Homo-oligomer: A and B are copies of this chain.
Amino acid sequence: MEPMALGKDYAHQQCSIARALEVVGERWTLLVVRDAFYGVRRYNDFLTHLGAPRAVLAARLQALVEAGVLDRRRYQESPPRDEYVLTARGLALWPVLRALGAWGRAEVPGAVPVRHFHHADCGTELGPYGECPACRVPVPPGDVEMRPGAGLDPDPGDPVGRALLGTRRLLVPLPHGWEGGNS
């Protein structure tokens, strides 16, 4: 059998859903993409925030780059360091994450809202498909403001989780190098 990168072999399925799952259907993959929307860009930040094994994370990042979902690019030369940012194809996954999150919030029992997503332009909370009910337009992820909800752990163990506590705009990179912030 052929190498097949890591395709899960249900490519033969006559279905765009199956094709999408070939790319983003593996364990951890969609959580990596979610974190990328939250502003995570560096290997170590994905690592600490996700808690995934290092080898798995490396494999997923590489697969997402090969699939054109993430772009790997140099952000400093001296110790050569790369970051992973969403491409247009990756940004197009926003409705998938919205739909999954909406379902997880509404349909999994005992779910307290962890985060809220608002239209940055007008402050209205987004509808289930990522549209703004007030402006009646689909809101691109760059115009989404993420606000903490009641279910959000106010003191996560990892620094990335702490950086994601406040109100933030999606896709804005996590702060690095300057100063942690509070305390």
Contact = CB atoms under 8 A, between A and B. Distances in A.
A97 B18 CA distance: 10
A20 B89 contact: no
Interface in A77-123: 89, 92-93, 95-109, 111, 113-115
A42 interface: no
Among A17, A28, A93, A101, the most chain B Cβ lie within 10 Å of the Cβ of A17
A74 interface: no
Contact of A23 (B51, B106, B108, B128): B108
Contacts of A13: 31, 50
B101 A20 contact: yes
B31 A95 contact: no
A158 to B, nearest CB: 11
Given A8-B27, A17-B104, 17 more contacts: A13-B50, A15-B114, A15-B115, A16-B103, A16-B113, A16-B115, A17-B34, A18-B104, A19-B111, A20-B101, A20-B103, A20-B108, A89-B107, A92-B107, A95-B102, A96-B99, A96-B100
